[in-house]
Amino acid sequence: MASSADITRRQSIALVAGESSGDLLGSRLLAGVRERLPEVRLYGIGGEHMMAQGFASDWPMDKLTVRGLFEVIPRYREIKGIQEALRDKLLADRPDVFVGVDYPGFNLGLEEQLKKAGIPTIHFIGPQIWAWRGWRIKKIQRAVSHMLVIFPFEENLYRQAGVPVTYVGHPLAEVIPLQPDTAGARQRLGLTGPGRVVAILPGSRMSELKQNGEGFLAAARLLRQRDAQLQFVTPMAGERQMAFFEEQIRQGGYEDLGISVIRGQSHSAMEASDAVLVASGTASLEVALYKKPMVISYKVNWASYQIMRHMAYQPWVGLPNILARDFLVPELLQHQATPQALADAMWHQLEDHAHQQRLVRRFADMHQSLLRDTSRESANAVCEVIGARRR
């Protein structure tokens, strides 16, 4: 392992995170890097969590935030322009290493060009080639100097493909406490009523709110009809998302539900909840780490769904179910995600206490399997790559 003494000149590390989950994950890596290299220059594209570590974002991260194979088409020219401008900047600057934090559609193409030009590249969070798009391993071999993976089973997969790899654990397993403080979270959020709490998480992207928001709100109304004391809390990733969701509430006539719409604080909302209605993605893993019952749902453009459905390698889409290799919690996708079906599934999560206890045990085991000192492990890998370049 290269020591800090081996890397005495001021280093520069470029990074790109394209969405809020990547921003959080990237901030954990940067915290470890700052301990090893306190004077390092950190720049590229990232969000508020990365910027809190002294990171300079050259473009707003939300310029990149879009999901779905067809949803990206209207934004393609803008996103491609950002990628090309950043590539030119990095080829001129020649940072010691480039780290792509998730966001493979953008980062792998950029990494391939940088690696070809002699700039080492690290990809933090392996693309889910074990779930779909297995052909991407060829591109990864061309683009990535070193892969950092967050699930234990991924290490052998990349090693067999000849890609240098390090399992660093999942940063969220460190951030989220092993024992959630539900009462404390409710107090922080002002959820002081006697009723049970349902967290509604339709997604952090505008496209997700457009697809999921109305159905989630309609399901909340049906749940309130079964239990008049239910309390609802919905965290929003930013001001635009909050304004859009509040408009959905007004247009749909859902003001009487008294939904507490909050800026950020998604972890507090999960921790405060009795059950969570959540869009598929990293948020579903966060809910599992908080040991909460949940229903996973998702809707995308019809054409995107058809392509993704036929390319999938396994029957699960939610990360908790993928890690367990079992349908621990319900998944309601596309046409299945009707308000009535969502409400029925959520009611079961709220009412079946034996099921809740089983989930607590399974999710606790999952938490332990993902728990590593991710900041230290990932920072060590970054410094090793930098040191190898200079030797």
State residue 46's pLDDT score: 95
Q: Percent of the chain having pLDDT more than 90?
A: 69
Q: How far apart are CA 103 and CA 159, in angstroms?
A: 21
- C-beta contacts of 245-253 below 8 A and 24+ residues apart: 245/202, 245/209, 245/213, 248/209, 248/213, 248/214, 248/217, 249/217, 252/214, 252/217, 252/218
Fold of domain 182-370: Rossmann fold (3.40.50)
- d(CA 165, CA 151) in angstroms, rounded, equals 12
| Angle separating helix axes 206-226 and 239-252, nearest 10 degrees | 40
What would the mean pLDDT of 135-142 be, rounded to a whole number? Answer: 87
pLDDT value of position 5 = 42
* Pairing between β-strand 56-60 and β-strand 231-236 as defined by DSSP bridges: unpaired
Q: What is the mean predicted confidence (pLDDT) over 182-193?
A: 95
Residue 136: pLDDT band by 50, 70, 90 thresholds? confident
Q: Which CATH superfamily is domain 12-169+372-390 in?
A: Glycogen Phosphorylase B; (3.40.50.2000)
Q: Which of 69-78, 171-180, 298-307 comes out lowest in average pLDDT?
A: 298-307
Tokens of 284: 């579903």
Q: What is the DSSP letter of 70?
A: T
Cα separation of 263 and 210, whole Å? 18
The rounded Cα 22 to chain-centroid distance in angstroms is 6
Give the global pTM. 0.75
Task: Please answer whether residues 52 and 28 qualify as being in contact, where contact means their C-beta atoms are separated by less than 8 angstroms.
Answer: no
Strands 197-201 and 231-236: parallel
Tell me what pLDDT residue 3 has: 47
Mean pLDDT of 108-125: 96
Q: Which residues contact 207 (CB under 8 A, 6 or more apart)?
A: 66, 67, 68, 71
| Mean per-residue pLDDT of the chain | 89
CA distances to 224, 276, 286 from 195, rounded to whole Å, are 11, 15, 23
Q: What is the pLDDT of residues 323-358, one digit of tens each?
A: 898 999 999 998 899 999 999 999 999 999 999 999
For residue 240, what are its two tokens?
A: 């635009």
User: What letter would DSSP give residue 66?
Assistant: -
pLDDT digit string, tens, across residues 241-274: 999 999 999 999 999 999 999 999 999 999 999 9
Q: What is the mean pLDDT of residues 228-240?
A: 95
- Residue 374 makes CB contacts below 8 A (sequence gap 6+) with 28, 29, 32, 150, 168, 169, 170, 171, 173, 174
pLDDT at 9: 55
- With a cut of 80, say whether residue 76 has pLDDT above it: no
DSSP-derived secondary structure letter, 153 = T
**Whether pLDDT at 207 is above 50:** yes
User: What are the structural domain ranges in the chain?
Assistant: 12-169+372-390, 182-370
Q: Quick one: three-class SS letters along 122-148?
A: EEECCCCCCCCCCCHHHHHHHHCCEEE
In percent, the amount of the chain with pLDDT more than 70 equals 89
Summarised one tens digit per residue, pLDDT across range 24-71 is 889 989 999 999 999 999 999 999 999 999 999 999 998 887 655 555
**Helix (H, G, I), strand (E, B), or coil: what is residue 118?**
coil
pLDDT band at 304 (very low <50, low <70, confident <90, very high): low
Collapsing DSSP states into helix, strand and coil, what is residue 59? strand
Predicted confidence at residue 6, as pLDDT, reads 43
Could you list the beta-strand ranges (E) of the chain. 12-17, 41-46, 56-60, 97-101, 121-124, 146-149, 165-167, 197-201, 231-236, 260-263, 275-279, 294-298, 331-333
Please check the confidence at residue 172 and state whether its pLDDT lies above 60: yes
Beta-carbon-side half-sphere exposure of residue 344 (alpha carbons within 13 Å): 8
